[in-house]
Amino acid sequence: MFPNNDPSFGSPLLLGERSSYNDAEKCVLLSTATLLISNSEGESLPVKTILDSGACCNLISENLVGLLGVERQKTDAVISCLNDTSVRVKTQLKTDISNLTGDYIRKIDFLVVPKITGVTPSKCLDISALNLPPNITIADPHFHKPGKIDLLLGNEYFCEFLRPGQCRVPNSQLILQNTVFGFLASGRLNVTGNQSSRVIHCKLIANLEDLHKDMTKFWELEKIEKPIKSVEEEKCEKHFLKTYSRNSEGRYIVQLPLKKDPECLGESKTSALGSLNSQWRRLSKNPELLSLYRDFMQEYEALGHMKLVTDNNEPSTSY
């Protein structure tokens, strides 16, 4: 298996799930447990969970996320599945899980998927003939009844869940393994009665060779056609080539581009003189402000930002 602690796009996750196999003679059980998961309010909800040592990630269904109301974070991961299919995961979340007694709590990262698997087991199994030990707690008291799976805990913490203690149920192929959640029931159960259906749940992924091809196609860019420039873009480019220069510091200097001919501004000298005379009248009432204004204009002229003109030598500039 190939674990990936930090799911990211382009890093395929190998997800393996034990088989749950039903035919007319036997049923192989998945290892399930009922545990508590925290919602956004800090409350705990019971949920039927698969404990899967063959999975490299932890999964949570969209349905359960909606019930929890826990905030998601963006991610980009690809889960490779059976028969060269894959599932792209866009969100993940982190929340607490605990056993029913509350003496084991662990904060876990989950990838959010639409659905984990179907109901497990597919049919209700008769366990009345089983001689289950009376002094143990079964991790999933309803392991023999069909139940919806909304959570999958992978191999990241699987060994941490295990506790000393394992026993085989007499006269059966059922094995009970002790964990922090109680005893997991796994193995084979013989099925009695007329059962014609044959259902297989298998999500064991062993081949990722073709996934690279799919990812390569994703990153390949289609040929981009040369864009057609608009009239304004053409004029702007021509203006730059015609007017640009570089100063002694190596900086580019370009004239201010205008969309229309400045002649369209018309004659504005009269209104400009009126504004200037109004400004002088206001300044004449405040000698200190007038002095500061004169100093500023003299400095402006000294820096070459303006120059004197005569009435007979007006520039062709428009304002």
Domain containing 178 — which CATH number?
A: 2.40.70.10
Quote the DSSP letter at residue 128.
T
Shared domain for 125 and 90, answered yes or no, is yes
Q: Per-residue pLDDT for 183 more than 90?
A: yes
Q: Is 15 a domain residue?
A: no
Shared domain for 210 and 238, answered yes or no, is no
Q: Is 45 a domain residue?
A: yes
Q: What is the pLDDT of residue 222?
A: 54
Shared domain for 46 and 163, answered yes or no, is yes
Shared domain for 289 and 196, answered yes or no, is no
Shared domain for 143 and 186, answered yes or no, is yes
Q: Are strands 32-38 and 44-51 parallel, antiparallel or unpaired?
A: antiparallel
What number is the average pLDDT over the span 146-165? 93
What number is the average pLDDT over the span 82-88? 74
Contact 182, 175 (CB under 8 A): no
Q: Give the count of domains, the chain.
A: 3
Confidence bin at 215 (pLDDT 50/70/90): low
Choose among 116, 165, 150: nearest CA to 34. Answer: 150
Shared domain for 173 and 284, answered yes or no, is no
Q: Which two tokens stand for residue 130?
A: 């089983």
Shared domain for 209 and 300, answered yes or no, is no
Q: Is 225 a domain residue?
A: no
Q: Is 250 a domain residue?
A: yes
Q: Is 16 a domain residue?
A: no
Q: What is the pLDDT of residue 318?
A: 56
Q: Higher-confidence residue: 24 or 80? A: 80
Shared domain for 132 and 243, answered yes or no, is no
Q: Is 111 a domain residue?
A: yes
Q: Is 242 a domain residue?
A: yes
Q: What is the pLDDT of residue 218?
A: 61
Shared domain for 249 and 123, answered yes or no, is no
Dihedral angle, C-alpha 203, 204, 209, 211, nearest 10 ° = 20
- pTM, two decimals, is 0.55
Q: Higher-confidence residue: 73 or 307? A: 73
Range of the domain at 298: 277-305
Q: What is the pLDDT of residue 14?
A: 42
Q: How far apart are CA 75 and CA 46, in angstroms?
A: 26
Q: Per-residue pLDDT for 10 more than 90?
A: no
- Give the percent of the chain with pLDDT over 90: 40
Tell me the sheet residues that pair with 60.
112, 151
Shared domain for 119 and 146, answered yes or no, is yes
Q: Which residues contact 167 (CB under 8 A, 6 or more apart)?
A: 133, 175, 176
Shared domain for 81 and 121, answered yes or no, is yes
Shared domain for 50 and 196, answered yes or no, is yes
Q: Is 150 a domain residue?
A: yes
Query: Across the chain, what does the average pLDDT equal?
Result: 80
Q: Per-residue pLDDT for 12 more than 80?
A: no
Q: How far apart are CA 180 and CA 163, in angstroms?
A: 7
